[in-house]
Amino acid sequence: MSHHDQPGERLPERRYDVVIAGGGTAGVVAALAAARQGARIAVIEVKGYLGGLAVEGGTGLHSFYNLWKAFPGVEKRQVVRGIPQEIIDRLLLVGGTTGHVEMIEGYDYDSVCTAIDTEIYKRVAFEMLEEAGVDICVNTMLTGALVTGSAVEGVTTASHTGAELFRAKAFVDCTGYGDLCAYAGAEFTEPNDYPVANSIGIGGVSVEGYYEFLKAHDAIAELARGPRSGKPDQIVRLRGELDKLPPGFRDEARAIGMATTTTTVHDDYLMFIKLNYKMPVSPTNRDAAAKAEAELRRRQARAIELFRRYVPGCERAFIARSSPSLCIRRGRLIACDYDITLDDVLEGRHFPDDIMVYGFHDSAPRLQIKEGRTYGIPYRALRVSGLDNLLAAGMLITSDHDAHMSTRNTVACMGQGQAAGTAAALCAARDCSTRDLPYDTLRQALEAGGVYFES
């Protein structure tokens, strides 16, 4: 490859206590948590809105609860509270979520369904960050890091304003891709162990029609009822057993990597239908990602055809929304001071430096956390190895694929965000490294922020 040398540039500078890179699932919560510690915060987000994959890829927020329904006699516990729950409370006020409704079928996978209206979520996220006094730098891409020794001094960005430098005392990488960590020289790998996706919201459909279609083939694997379009006790979640569906539907769904799971908070709308595609290389490869984007658009069109042809009431189905860019389950895996193992997850282990507890596994019922228990995520698992003022939160931690199938879910990422944002702000206030922050201080602040612990 040929190269072009960029002459030295003078960049305008902004100064903060904490910079949160990525205003997605974890980043929104991290920014709120940091701001509530009284810190001056900027959140840098490449898209024009906040919320990340929570509003782009998944069907519901997994999970605020332990898996109590799968284990008779086990107590029902809301195990993630704090700021993630505050977001749900705000959404409830404006009809933006079902709240936590109990699963009727498929409760050995998750005991509750928390479905959201993605567009209301984006608006509520803006409102909450504005109220907290966060500088919301959307349409701004983080492009590099300025590092001295083992300290990140600042990050460079690109926007229509031009290039800028954001200086801060502490940083949290919530980019999912791990861009900040990579630019700062952190150790990382790129496992490429998942398919990428571009999930679509489908309009012009009948939710009841989809239900009847699955029922007619005795194929209902998941079902939840809750509020929808202002009416109680409506279908809000469905999953079909693909094997039982007509061969024409089944084989084409398999060919395009289409999942049959969907949730909704509106009549006539399915949010989302996931289309998957396994890239030959990591999604950080721009040229390969471009091919995946194009292929997924073709798969979306084929998915719409399937609904039109096979599902009664969906003859006029259309794509009502799609993701502006690939939905990834993992980009870079960042080396942190502790790597959560599958045993930690399944055995329900807790640590002396827990920052949250969590009770959901995306491979359930094949892999379940023992007896409906929770495991703890230790503070060490968020501390980026080799750097003194950089934390990571979200899908970019946890190397073991099957352990990651738990820690990468939205509500786990949100909880990590609260811890990382709180810790970063406390470090900035004390002028200390992430490793010198006393755990008791962090724990006290998290408890004051409503975080639930089991040890």
Ligand X SMILES: Cc1cc2nc3c(=O)[nH]c(=O)nc-3n(C[C@H](O)[C@H](O)[C@H](O)COP(=O)(O)OP(=O)(O)OC[C@H]3O[C@@H](n4cnc5c(N)ncnc54)[C@H](O)[C@@H]3O)c2cc1C
Residue type, 63: S
State which residue, 138 or 432, has the beta carbon closest to ligand X: 138
Nearer to ligand X among residue 144 and residue 209 (C-beta): 144
Q: CA nearest 430: which of 445, 414, 448, 413?
A: 445
Instruction: Tell me whether residue 180 or residue 451 sits nearer to ligand X (CB atom).
Output: 180
Nearer to ligand X, 59 or 300 (CB): 59
Q: Which is nearer to ligand X, 395 or 428 (CB)?
A: 395
Taking CB positions, which residue lies at the least distance from ligand X? 24
The distance of closest approach from Cβ of residue 218 to ligand X in the complex, given in angstroms and rounded to an integer, is 24
Smallest distance, ligand X to C-beta of residue 100, A:
13
How near is the Cβ of 431 to ligand X at its closest, in Å? 26
Give the residue with the Cβ less far from ligand X, 106 or 313: 106
Instruction: Give me the least distance between CB of 455 and ligand X, in Å please.
Output: 24
Give the shortest CB-27-to-ligand X separation in angstroms: 6
Q: Which residues contact 277 (CB under 8 A, 6 or more apart)?
A: 195, 196, 197, 257, 292, 295, 296, 299
- Which CB atom, from 62 or from 349, has the smaller least distance to ligand X? 62
Minimum distance from residue 56 beta carbon to ligand X (Å): 7
Contact present, 232 and 254 (Cβ < 8 Å) = no
In angstroms, give the least distance from the CB of 266 to ligand X: 17
Cβ closest to ligand X, residue 214 vs residue 414? 414
Helix (H) or strand (E) holding 162: strand 162-167
Of the candidates 73, 71, 53, 74, the one whose C-alpha atom is nearest the C-alpha of residue 62 is: 53
Closest to ligand X by CB, 58 vs 227, is 58
Q: How many CB atoms are closer than 10 A to CB 266?
A: 19
Whether 192 and 74 have beta carbons less than 8 Å apart is answered as no
Alpha-carbon gap, residue 312 to 269, rounded angstroms: 14
Determine the Cα–Cα distance for residues 385 and 391; give it in Å rounded to an integer.
9
Q: Minimum CB separation from ligand X for residue 336, in Å?
A: 14
Distance CA 113, CA 58 (A): 12
Minimum separation from the CB atom of position 53 to ligand X (A)? 3
Number of alpha helices (DSSP H) and beta strands (DSSP E) in the chain: 11, 23
DSSP 275: B
Which residues have CB under 8 Å from 432's CB, separation 6+?
none
* C-alpha separations of 57 from 41, 261, 274, 327, 454 in Å: 27, 12, 7, 6, 30
Question: What is the DSSP secondary-structure string of 112-127?
Answer: EEEEE-HHHHHHHHHH
**Smallest gap from residue 12 Cβ to ligand X (A):** 18
Residues with Cβ within 8 Å of 181's Cβ and at least 6 positions away in sequence, in order, are 173, 188, 332, 334, 384, 387, 390, 392, 396
List residues near ligand X by CB under 6 A.
Answer: 22-27, 44-47, 52-54, 57-62, 141-142, 174-177, 179, 197, 199, 274, 327-329, 394-395, 408-410, 413
**Whose Cβ is closer to ligand X: residue 240's or residue 313's?**
240
Q: What is the rounded distance in angstroms from the CA atom of residue 28 to the CA atom of residue 22?
A: 8
**Shortest approach of ligand X to residue 386 CB, angstroms?**
20
335, 187 Cβ separation under 8 angstroms:
yes
How far is it, in rounded angstroms, from Cα 451 to Cα 271?
A: 29
Residue number, 147 or 432, with CB nearest to ligand X: 147
Does residue 279 contact residue 266 with C-beta atoms inside 8 Å?
A: no
